[in-house]
Structure 1
Amino acid sequence: MSIDLISPNRVETAVAAADILGETPLWCERTRKLWWIDIDGQLHQSFDPETGDHQVSHHDCRFLGSQALTADGGHLLALDLRLFRRATDGSPLAELCEVETGFDNRLNDGRVDARGRLWIGTMDNQLHRRNGALYRVDGDGKVTRLFEDVIVTNGIAFSPDNRTLYFTDTRRHRSWAFDFDLDDGTIRNGRLFADYSASGERPDGACVDVDGGVWTAFFSGGRVVRYRPDGGIDRVIPLPVTNPTCLCFGGRDFKTLFVTTAMKFLDHQQLGAEPQAGHLLAIHGIAQGLPEHRFQTLP
């Protein structure tokens, strides 16, 4: 089957952010803003495409590892190994829970399911030990460990019918699909979805479109790939940067693919050749996405 190779000329810079490690873009349909983080810069950022306004807030941590939208209009932020609620009124962060202890890890990729629970994983800070795990965090802060033996958690996404959870371990070079029970909040029957262990390529963040396609950014691979639900590849988008990290659909009609990128691990020569490295990129009109689910805090 042929693969649709989309021209890199369609890739534009939305924000010249110069992120060290840009990650976890999320579109908020209420504010009509794109939110994302710079993990190593400890920055939580927003971009309004209509006005061009770019807002940045800094947080006191070693790594600002992930974020999620909340039902009350705020955000859930992952600072190192703890989750905090960030309200819209600028009040101090309120701790929800500590997800993990005892390892040289940090929180990384996460996503909220249709019942308002956060699925988030940890990763080894040295990028080679299988210290990490996948967790489910309920609205009351209860943490459930689902499986371990993970180096770098990434690529958490749910199919549009809420029957499949996708999960990637970037440093094991593999992605899996699990049967997902939305009512019980459980997963089973894990099977390989994509395997790059032979080539050593690094699938990173992911999102899904309305047709169930799984879009994945390849860190150190300079491209975005769309998988069909059966695991076959039908679209490839070469990017003008080596390190795309994560992606989401946004804009008024959810037809803009936003891609975060990183300057991390690039030397001076590479940075000179890649002026868009670390920027927030945008590609218009290639597919349609879905609104993000929001974390639902319970009393």
Structure 2
Amino acid sequence: MTLNSIPAHKVETAVAASDILGETPLWCDRSRKLWWVDIDGRLHQSFDPATGEHQVRPYDCQFLGSQALTADGAHLLARDLSLHHRSADGYLSRQVCEVESGLDNHLNDGRVDARGRLWIGTMDNQLHRPNGSLYRVTGDGEVTPVFSDVIVTNGIAFSPDNRTLYFTDTRRYCTWQFDFDLDDGAIRNRRLFADYRSTQERPDGACVDNIGGLWTAFFSHGRVVRYRPDGRIDTVIPLPVTNPTCACFGGDDLKTLFVTTARKFLTPEQLSIEPQAGHVLAVHGIAQGLPEHRFANPG
């Protein structure tokens, strides 16, 4: 199998955001905007490629951990350990649920399945204790624990046929896949998909393309890779930053790969030679994505 490496000049800056920890990019096919968060900066942001407009809204919390699109055209925001409905005008209208309590954790990566359920996990704020868990959340705020013993939840994605769930624990350096039953919302048959324990490389956020490829960002290792469904890597995108965090497909044709990045953990010396650290990067025309599913209307 030939390995496709994307040349550096194909990677461009889409938004000069300078995020501390940019994450969870999602393309909204209704607003035709890219949406993402800065977890540590506690910012919810959007970018309109048609106009170049970049909007930023801050929120009062310790961590703005994740987001999801909602069926009513708004957003679901993960603030610390609870989920909140963000109205179309940008205000938090109400708390949907508290997902977890009593642990030194915060909500991190999540993704909505084709039935409108949010799969979202927590992570240890100290980045080394297995305090985290994966949860399934329905539109009425019902929270179901799925499994625990997680350090840093990441890389949640569903295959195009809705039969496979991918899940990454970044600080265990592994990605797993599960058989997924869309009807009953159950996962079974956990097996290892990608194992980096020997090198301690950090798979982070991920998305799938329309033919089932899994695109994963590698935090602290400056690249995005595409896995075939059989686990083999067929594409590598070297990036001009050390810390890519997550990726999604966007644009009206869903053929632009947007990649969020982080300035966090970089030294002043590294920042001086990585002017694009914290920006949203883009690569055009390498694959085509799928529309994001939307969380069932809160309430």
TM-score interval w.r.t. the shorter chain? over 0.9
Of stretches 259-268 and 83-92 in structure 1, the one that deviates more from structure 2 is: 83-92
Identify unmatched segments of 5+ residues in structure 2. none
- Paired with 2:215 and 2:42, the residues of 1 have a C-alpha distance of 26
- Paired with 1:262 and 1:225, the residues of 2 have a C-alpha distance of 18
Q: Report 1:178-217 matches (<5 A).
A: 178-217=178-217
- Paired with 1:226 and 1:71, the residues of 2 have a C-alpha distance of 29
Q: Counterpart of 1:290 in structure 2: which amino acid?
A: L
Checking the alignment, whether the CA contact within 8 Å between 2:14 and 2:282 is kept in structure 1 is yes
- Paired with 1:17 and 1:298, the residues of 2 have a C-alpha distance of 30
Q: Secondary structure at the match of 2:264?
A: coil
Deviation at 1:8, TM superposition (A): 1.5
Q: Counterpart of 1:118 in structure 2: which amino acid?
A: L
- Paired with 1:277 and 1:142, the residues of 2 have a C-alpha distance of 38
Q: Counterpart of 2:14 in structure 1: which amino acid?
A: A
Q: Secondary structure at the match of 1:184?
A: coil
Aligned partner of 1:93 in structure 2 is 93
Deviations 1:234-283 (A, max 9, x none): 00000000000000000010000000000000000000010000000010
Aligned partner of 1:44 in structure 2 is 44
| Cα pair distance change 1:45/1:90, threshold 3 Å | closer
- Paired with 2:168 and 2:90, the residues of 1 have a C-alpha distance of 34
Q: Secondary structure at the match of 2:271?
A: helix
Aligned partner of 2:84 in structure 1 is 84
- Paired with 2:82 and 2:286, the residues of 1 have a C-alpha distance of 36
Checking the alignment, whether the CA contact within 8 Å between 2:261 and 2:280 is kept in structure 1 is yes
- Normalising by the residue count of structure 1, what TM-score does the alignment of the two structures yield? 0.99
Q: Secondary structure at the match of 1:106?
A: strand
Deviation at 1:90, TM superposition (A): 3.7
Aligned partner of 1:275 in structure 2 is 275
Deviation at 1:297, TM superposition (A): 2.4
Q: Report 1:100-179 matches (<5 A).
A: 100-179=100-179
Q: Counterpart of 2:150 in structure 1: which amino acid?
A: V
| TM-align CA RMSD | 0.7
| Cα pair distance change 1:91/1:41, threshold 3 Å | closer
Q: Secondary structure at the match of 1:93?
A: strand
Q: Secondary structure at the match of 1:194?
A: strand
- How many pairs does the alignment contain? 299
Q: Secondary structure at the match of 2:101?
A: coil
- Paired with 2:89 and 2:110, the residues of 1 have a C-alpha distance of 24
Q: Which ranges of 4 or more aligned residues in structure 1 deviate by more than 4 Å?
A: none
Deviation at 1:89, TM superposition (A): 2.9
- Paired with 2:243 and 2:92, the residues of 1 have a C-alpha distance of 33
| Cα pair distance change 1:7/1:89, threshold 3 Å | same
Identify unmatched segments of 5+ residues in structure 1. none
Q: Counterpart of 1:106 in structure 2: which amino acid?
A: H
Q: Counterpart of 1:162 in structure 2: which amino acid?
A: N
Q: Counterpart of 2:20 in structure 1: which amino acid?
A: I
Q: Secondary structure at the match of 1:269?
A: helix
Q: Secondary structure at the match of 1:193?
A: strand
Of stretches 81-90 and 66-75 in structure 1, the one that deviates more from structure 2 is: 81-90
Aligned partner of 2:11 in structure 1 is 11
- Paired with 1:210 and 1:69, the residues of 2 have a C-alpha distance of 19
Q: Secondary structure at the match of 1:140?
A: coil
Deviations 1:18-51 (A, max 9, x none): 0000000000011100000000000000000010
| Cα pair distance change 1:90/1:16, threshold 3 Å | closer
Q: Counterpart of 1:179 in structure 2: which amino acid?
A: D
Identical-pair percentage: 76
- Normalising by the residue count of structure 2, what TM-score does the alignment of the two structures yield? 0.99
Deviation at 1:91, TM superposition (A): 3.9
Q: Counterpart of 1:108 in structure 2: which amino acid?
A: N
Deviation at 1:298, TM superposition (A): 5.7
Deviation at 1:286, TM superposition (A): 0.2
- Paired with 1:292 and 1:175, the residues of 2 have a C-alpha distance of 21
